Amino acid sequence: MTKAPQSRDAFEARLRQIGAERYHDLHPFHDRLHGGQCTMEEVQAWVINRYYYQHSIPMKDAAFMSRVEDPDLRRAWRSRMEDHDGTADNEGGIRRWLRLAEAVGLDPDYVSTTEGVLPATKFAVDAYVRFVREKTLLEAVAASLTELFAPKIHANRIEGLLKNYAFADDSSLSYFRNRLKEAPKDVAFGLAWVLDHADTAEKQDVAARALIFKTDVLWSQLDALWGAYVEPRRIPPGAWQPGTGQLLRQAS
Amino acid sequence: MTKAPQSRDAFEARLRQIGAERYHDLHPFHDRLHGGQCTMEEVQAWVINRYYYQHSIPMKDAAFMSRVEDPDLRRAWRSRMEDHDGTADNEGGIRRWLRLAEAVGLDPDYVSTTEGVLPATKFAVDAYVRFVREKTLLEAVAASLTELFAPKIHANRIEGLLKNYAFADDSSLSYFRNRLKEAPKDVAFGLAWVLDHADTAEKQDVAARALIFKTDVLWSQLDALWGAYVEPRRIPPGAWQPGTGQLLRQAS
């Protein structure tokens, strides 16, 4: 006997519940960061490692569009690449992240090499890019729905960083302010698409699993960061060593 | 100007040096395990997570053979699948690992579902399978050369487990004893193949990076295990919870 699909509202509530239980705003690294308990080395490690995620997202979106036959869907999706890679009028999220890197004392040229990124960060983020390359379009869009839960964490982050760290100002935090504008339009589109296309119980289960997968991708990055740079602070072979990759501040 | 390749001996020494600096025998989890400081829960977590690696290795080897046009090379490689998946006369490494799982009090049917495996373990191991699927044959064979460094750790493990844990006996440790016989023939073949085929400086660099990648795959599994089950003992959402997945011991 075929299981009946959940109603649209019930299925949306199920997706939101996944965020309530598994989104990385629940990870203690974020309390530490936003509460001002992070050392500058920990902030730098976060910026270096999170850059790898930023740098991979447009590749993920390109992988998605490479598999979409519908021009309307590709057109709707393309703004995500513009948001990250930039346009004539918009520097884009990747450059904004490198501005944050510079503000925390790192050489943006070093950060953009992605050298020193934790292997565990690369494995997790690469798993996401490959997931989008290999799985169904429904799973790819469902995985992007962690953006549903992002505005709250970005607002908390802006407030917490501004309050607690000297490097924080409008310029260095512009990445997060822009995401507050960009994410809601993306996720409204993505959520409607998933609710429209997950029209059987089986597809709903598959979409929910895809969203869980994505929460794992985000969570495991913070676990790796914590283990390497907070506790037990065991930096794996080849990963960034505090004190390196920094801007040379010239005597003036 | 083209860089001259290293001599065969110098290149082999370079590969061995990678192991001396980055192989996971240097990770403190192994000291803890072999020295008898692990709790049974930690041993169980290790068995559950390491099973994901065991279960993926024959898929990795099949991915490799799927890209090999030379029947001789496929024939030489095929014994790896036999070693893991078994033959009429040999139960194979995967069943031996499940015997270990049973000896440490886990339900082998639970372990073989790979439910509860840490997402970070899956990301790392899946990265290895995909690496072998996507990269050159030279890189795939070079990545397998961590087996060069395995006999020492297996010998230490057998000795340490027998000395320190009641579950350890010839049956439960048969996986490791068999690997002591199997790994040297595999790695002698793989090493000779890499030394033969890495005949330019560029190929030598690529092969060395592949071996480094593989050491990262192994190391990051132990970092994830440590963070989840040793210190700070933060188990990620959805991962195995101690006290579950165990054999039901019936009152008799």
Instruction: Give tens-digit pLDDT for B92-103.
Output: 999 999 999 999
- Closest-approach residue (CA) in chain B for A214: B119
Cα A31 vs. chain centroid, distance in angstroms?
17
Q: Which residue matches tokens 């040229």?
A: A109
pLDDT of residue B249: 65
Q: Do A123 and B217 touch (CB under 8 A)?
A: yes
Are the Cβ atoms of B219 and A127 closer than 8 angstroms? no
Q: Which residues of chain B have pLDDT under 50?
A: 251-252
Binary contact (B119, A232; C-beta < 8 A): no
- Residues of chain A in contact with residue B123, where contact means CB-CB under 8 angstroms, are 120, 123-124, 126-127, 217, 220
- State mean pLDDT over A42-67: 98
pLDDT at B1: 65
Tell me whether A232 touches chain B (CB under 8 Å): yes
Strand partners, B246: B106
Q: Cβ of B101: how many Cβ atoms within 10 Å?
A: 24
Cross-chain Cβ contact B215/A227 below 8 Å: no
CB-based contact, A91 to chain B, within 8 Å? no
Unique residue bearing structure tokens 């409204």: A188
More confident residue, A248 or A199: A199
The DSSP secondary-structure symbol of A10 reads H
**Which of B121, B220, B235 to probe the A interface (max A CBs under 10 A)?**
B220
Task: Report whether A165 contacts A177 (CB < 8 A).
Answer: no
Other CB atoms within a 10 A radius of the CB of residue B194 amount to 25
Determine contact: A130 vs chain B, CB below 8 A.
yes
How confident is residue A248, by pLDDT bands cut at 50, 70 and 90? confident
Question: Residues of B with CB below 8 A from A135's CB?
Answer: none
- What distance in Å separates residue B22's CA from the closest CA in chain A? 6
* Averaged pLDDT, A5-14: 98
CA distance A111 to chain B (A): 20
A43/A33 Cα distance (integer angstroms): 7
Mapping DSSP to helix (H, G, I), strand (E, B) and coil, where does residue A106 land? strand
d(CA A223, CA A177): 25
Nearest neighbour of A220 by CB, restricted to B119, B216, B217: B119
Considering CB atoms only, which of A118, A224, A237 is closest to B22?
Answer: A237
Q: Which of A30, A220, A233 to mutate to test the interface with B (most CBs of B within 10 A)?
A: A220
Nearest residue in A to B23, CA atom: A237
Determine the residue type at B6: Q
For chain B positions 1-30, those within 8 Å of chain A (CB to CB) are 21-22, 28
Flag whether residue B126 sits within 8 Å of chain A, measured between CB atoms.
Answer: yes
Q: Residues B225-242, buried b or exposed e (16+ Cβ, 10 A)?
A: bbbbbbeeebbbbbbbee
**Are A236 and B219 a contacting pair at CB < 8 A?**
yes
Please name the member of B28, B120, B122 whose beta carbon is closest to the beta carbon of A224.
B120
Asked if residue A252 has pLDDT above 50, the reply is: no
Measured between alpha carbons, how far is B186 from B178 in angstroms, rounded to an integer?
13
Residue of B nearest to A216 (CA): B119
Q: How far apart are CA B107 and CA B116, in angstroms?
A: 13
CA angle A83/A88/A91 to nearest 5° reads: 50
Encode pLDDT of B48-78 as tens digits: 999 999 999 999 999 999 999 999 999 999 9
Is residue B217 within 8 angstroms of chain A, CB to CB?
yes
CATH topology of domain B8-229: Heme Oxygenase; Chain A (1.20.910)
ipTM exceeding 0.90?
Answer: yes
Nearest to B219 among A215, A217, A237 (CB): A237
Instruction: Tell whether B130 is within 8 A of chain A (Cβ).
Output: yes
Of A119, A217, A231, Cβ closest to residue B216: A119
Of B185, B196, B144, B205, residue with least CA distance to B8: B196
Q: How far is A147 from A133, CA to CA, in rounded Å?
A: 19
Cα(B228)–Cα(B230) distance, integer angstroms:
6
Question: Residue B127 is nearest to which of A126, A220, A237, comparing CB atoms?
Answer: A126
Instruction: Provide the residue type at A252 as one letter.
Output: S
Nearest CA in chain A to B232: A231
| pLDDT for res B2 | 80
Identity at B81, one-letter amino acid code: M
From B119, B127, B231, residue closest to A231, measured CB to CB: B231
Instruction: Write out residues 28-87 of B within 8 Å (CB-CB) of A.
Output: 28
Residue-level pLDDT at B4: 96
Of A196, A214, A206, nearest in space to A73 by CA? A196
Specify the pLDDT at position A1.
Answer: 65
